[in-house]
Amino acid sequence: MVKGRGGRREGAAAVEFAMVILPFTFMIFALLELGLVFVVDSVLGNAAIESGRLIRTGQADAADMTAEEFRDDVCGRMSVFATQCDERISIDVRVIPAFGSPVPDPMSNGTSFDESQMDFNYGTFGSLVLVRVWYRQPLVTTFLGQGLSRLSDGNARLMSATAFRNEPA
């Protein structure tokens, strides 16, 4: 037993560790989840661009591609995240009059995602086309859900968009 200015110190390290371990573990899980969100966002961006290329080059028009077939193509390009892609993804493909034209935002009401604003129209040769893909990523860490979710459901809605002019067939 050591006595001095500090008093008794037995077990102080255990108490300090107990106070620090919970926030430390929480932060580690939050960092891992944030890393997962960035990976999903990157994969989603690549899938949207590559699938949009089918429209841009006229392959979708030649194959008379439907919205479901386009969704399957995007999901097929989501690599390890393809298993739950069908239930988590929303796709909007529309002809726009000019770059920078306003388009409907399915998250504008702030409480839910409005699927009724989705369209699937890839136009013809020379059309300006906007392809937008949303992916619902559930979040486990609560404060990430508050920071990354624009909606009240606690999920992160990741969005990737690409705009282009259709090429000649």
Higher local confidence (pLDDT), 108 or 74 = 74
Q: What is the pLDDT of residues 70-98, one digit of tens each?
A: 999 999 999 888 889 999 999 999 999 99
SS3 of the chain: the string is CCCCCCCCCCCHHHHHHHHHHHHHHHHHHHHHHHHHHHHHHHHHHHHHHHHHHHHHCCHHHHCCCCHHHHHHHHHHCCHHHCCCHHHHEEEEEEECCCCCCCCCCCCCCCCCCCHHHCCECCCCCCCEEEEEEEEEEECCCHHHHHHHCCCCCCEEEEEEEEEEECCCC
- Going by pLDDT thresholds of 50, 70 and 90, the confidence category of residue 147 is confident
pLDDT tops 90 at residue 8:
no
